[in-house]
Amino acid sequence: MRRSLFWRTYSVLLAALLAAIAIFTGVLAAAQRQARQESYEAEVRLQAREVADYMSNLSAISYVQSNATMRYIVRHKISEIYDSYDADIWIVSYNSGMAYVQYLDKSWNTTRSLATDAVKEQLALIQEGNEIRAEDLFPELDADGDRIVTIGVPWRYGDTVVGAVLLHIPMQSLRISFGGIVRQILPPAVLALALGTILAFFLARSQIRPLKEMSSAVREFSKGDLTRRVDVHCGGELQELGDSINRMAEELSRLEDSRRSFVANVSHELRSPMTCMRGYVQAMLDGVIDPQDMPRYLKIVLDETDRLTDLVKDLLDLSRLESGKFPLTPAPFDANELVRRNLVNFEPRIDEKHIEVVVALADGPLYVMADANRINQVVSNIIDNAVKFMTGENSRLTVRTAREGEGVRFTIANNGPRIAEADLPCIFERFYKADKAHTSGQGTGLGLSICQRIMQQHGSQITVRSDDSETAFEFILPAADPPAERQA
Report all structural domains of the chain as residue ranges with CATH numbers, in order of start: 5-178 (3.30.450.20), 226-325 (1.10.287.130), 331-487 (3.30.565.10)
How many Å apart are CA 166 and CA 92, to the nearest integer? 7
Contact status, residue 37 vs residue 140, Cβ threshold 8 Å: no
Q: Which is more confident, 317 or 78? A: 78
Classified as helix, coil or strand, 411 is: strand
Q: What would the mean pLDDT of 30-48 be, rounded to a whole number?
A: 81
pLDDT higher than 70, residue 96: no
How many Å apart are CA 321 and CA 313, to the nearest integer? 12
pLDDT higher than 70, residue 15: yes
Strand pairing class (396-404; 356-360): parallel
Q: What is the secondary structure of 45-59 as a DSSP string?
A: HHHHHHHHHHHTT-S
Q: What would the mean pLDDT of 41-46 be, rounded to a whole number?
A: 85
Lowest average pLDDT, out of 59-68, 294-303, 365-374, goes to 59-68
Query: What percentage of the chain has pLDDT greater than the value 90?
Result: 5
pLDDT bin (cut points 50, 70, 90) of residue 434 is low
Q: What would the mean pLDDT of 315-342 be, rounded to a whole number?
A: 79
How many Å apart are CA 17 and CA 100, to the nearest integer? 60
The residue type found at 359 is V
Residue 471 phi/psi, 5-degree rounding, is -115, 125
Q: Which is more confident, 178 or 389? A: 389
Report CA-CA distances (Å) from 125 to 118, 132, 432, 453.
11, 7, 106, 96
Three-class HEC string of 141-184: HCECCECEEEEEEEEEECCEEEEEEEEEEEHHHHCCCHHHHHHH
Q: Which is more confident, 392 or 286? A: 286
Alpha-carbon dihedral 377, 378, 381, 386, rounded to 10 degrees? -150
Summarised one tens digit per residue, pLDDT across range 372-409 is 888 888 898 898 888 887 776 778 889 999 998 889 99
Q: Which is more confident, 112 or 18? A: 18
Q: Which is more confident, 344 or 320? A: 344
Report pLDDT for 474. Answer: 92
Classified as helix, coil or strand, 333 is: strand
Report pLDDT for 119. Answer: 84
Structure pTM?
Answer: 0.47
Q: Give the residue from 381, 366, 300, 379 showing the smallest Cα distance to 336.
A: 366
Q: Which is more confident, 288 or 341? A: 341
Q: Give the residue from 307, 309, 262, 249 showing the smallest Cα distance to 429.
A: 262
- How many residues appear in the chain? 488
pLDDT higher than 60, residue 296: yes
Lowest average pLDDT, out of 41-50, 128-137, 143-152, 350-359, goes to 143-152
Report pLDDT for 39. Answer: 82
User: Which residues, in sequence order, are CB contacts of 193 under 8 Å at separation 6+?
Assistant: 17, 18, 21
Q: Give the residue from 376, 395, 394, 377 showing the smallest Cα distance to 386.
A: 395
pLDDT bin (cut points 50, 70, 90) of residue 484 is low
pLDDT bin (cut points 50, 70, 90) of residue 282 is confident
Contact status, residue 440 vs residue 453, Cβ threshold 8 Å: no
Q: Which is more confident, 441 or 95? A: 95
Q: Give the residue from 454, 472, 455, 350 showing the smallest Cα distance to 402.
A: 472
pLDDT bin (cut points 50, 70, 90) of residue 1 is very low
Lowest average pLDDT, out of 83-87, 258-262, 372-376, goes to 258-262
Q: Which is more confident, 442 or 158? A: 158
pLDDT higher than 80, residue 127: yes
- For residue 379, the surrounding DSSP H or E stretch is helix 372-388
Lowest average pLDDT, out of 116-125, 240-249, 349-358, 429-438, goes to 429-438
Q: Which is more confident, 436 or 351? A: 351
pLDDT higher than 70, residue 95: no
Summarised one tens digit per residue, pLDDT across range 341-361 is 988 888 888 888 888 888 888
Report pLDDT for 432. Answer: 64
CA atoms within 13 A on the CB side of 135: 6
Report pLDDT for 324. Answer: 63
| Torsion sign across C-alpha atoms 377, 380, 384, 390 | positive
How many Å apart are CA 80 and CA 107, to the nearest integer? 19
pLDDT bin (cut points 50, 70, 90) of residue 441 is very low
Q: Which is more confident, 465 or 291? A: 465
